[in-house]
Amino acid sequence: MDPLTLNTRHLRAMVEIVGSRRISSAARAVNLTQPAVTQGIAKLEAQIGLPLFDRRPDGMLPTEAARVLAPRVQAALRLIGNRRATGAQMRAYLALAETGSYAAAAAMTGLSQASLHRAVSDLSTTVGQKLVERRGRGIVLTARGAALARNFRLARSEMRSAIAELSSLQGRETGRIVVGAMPLSRARLLPKVISLFHARHPEVDLSIVEGSYGELIGPLRDGEIDLLVGALRPHQPEGIAQQALFEDHPIIIGRAGHPLAKPWAANPADLVRFPWIVPAPGTPLRTQWHVMFESAGVEPPRVPIECGSVIMVRQILVDSDFLTLLSADQVRVELDAGWLVAIGNALGDVSRTIGISTREDWRPTALQSLFTKALAEQATLMNRPIS
């Protein structure tokens, strides 16, 4: 079910009834007649497939479904902000924000371009600010428009979680967990957890979005990704919660037959004689690379190639005398095959913390909590717990 098909006014009325247990109070709060509120609640119940209230002479008693739904709806309504914004307007606007053109948004939603234009225009009038502007042949969001789109995405995420939790009340394990996967997490940890989790919960969809921290942190903040697994930032970013899983100790890696392969006596001066390929400045691994040289009292060499793609890095290593700093897990196949070799351990105390990043205000569903628990358990089983 698309949560944006639920009527926001009916949802607001539901929350009011949970608090007051009176249809009359909800009718005043949402500016509808009592029969209209009654019909709206009945429609909501039909859409979610569960009763929300027990109708009694002394009032409306919330069912377990209403108690589950109400906090999520309240959070979503706070994010939406405007009481007059409708689900249809939000659906049209998010489609436009995600595609960048009315034609593409029409193809995505099945709505006509005229309907999309009207919905976005009405939303702009409702919030009293310009939300989009033309840029060449495309559409870009204004600053206010971008902020509104982010809030709508977070509201949609809250409602998706609500629908998943309601499904569990019906004895169905449904839902979707979207995981942002940074390079190191893809080597062993995430594949193992995903396999185990799917075997236990086959009805739950798992979507893995690969990328760097810079590519994934935006979707995480916007609610498009539920959790991010990979290297944690040394300083906790604003609005982001971090949970450590284990410490990774990168090693120096080069091709088979590299001049430093055997024997190498850990002379820092030897390392500056060869070109390096490492991620861009600001990434944890690049920081650790600097620490390695600085701890040895050696000026870090120039980096002729900056790259965060492990696939590209390992191919360049195979074909050259470049060196890199990586976790052995990330190139385990190449090491076992003898294409690459461990030159040696990194100099000094070089490590990075691997863990889970989420929004600080994220309230996971029961299944999402089970997934994060499985990540922590698997990290421990890999014999690399935080000391």
Question: Could you state, in order of their start, the residue ranges of all structural domains in the chain?
Answer: 3-80, 87-151, 173-247+353-381, 250-350
Average pLDDT over residues 24-40: 94
Range with the poorest average pLDDT among 12-21, 262-271, 280-289: 262-271
As a three-state string, the secondary structure of 75-107 is HHHHHHCCCCCCHHHHHHHHHHHHHCCHHHHHH
Average pLDDT over residues 64-83: 95
Range with the poorest average pLDDT among 129-133, 320-324, 332-336: 332-336
Q: What is the pLDDT of residue 265?
A: 66
Residue range 202-235, pLDDT digits in tens? 989 999 999 888 899 999 999 999 999 998 988 8
pLDDT of 308 > 90? The answer is no
CATH code of the region 250-350? 3.40.190.10
Decide if 162 contacts 72 (C-beta within 8 A).
yes
Average pLDDT over residues 284-306: 90
Q: In this structure, which topology does domain 3-80 adopt according to CATH?
A: Arc Repressor Mutant, subunit A (1.10.10)
Averaged pLDDT of the chain: 91
pLDDT of 387 > 60? The answer is no
pLDDT of 99 > 60? The answer is yes
Tokens of 21: 């247990």
Decide if 105 contacts 114 (C-beta within 8 A).
no
Q: What is the pLDDT of residue 266?
A: 66
Residue range 357-385, pLDDT digits in tens? 999 999 999 999 999 999 999 998 876 44
Same fold, 173-247+353-381 and 250-350: yes
**Residue 284's closest CA among 249, 335, 239?**
249
Q: What is the pLDDT of residue 186?
A: 77
pLDDT of 147 > 90? The answer is yes
Q: What is the pLDDT of residue 239?
A: 93
Instruction: Read off the pTM.
Output: 0.82
3-state secondary structure at position 358? strand
- Backbone φ, ψ for residue 323 (5° rounding): -120, 160
Higher pLDDT, 265 or 372: 372
CATH code of the region 173-247+353-381? 3.40.190.10
pLDDT of 262 > 60? The answer is yes
Q: In this structure, which topology does domain 87-151 adopt according to CATH?
A: Arc Repressor Mutant, subunit A (1.10.10)
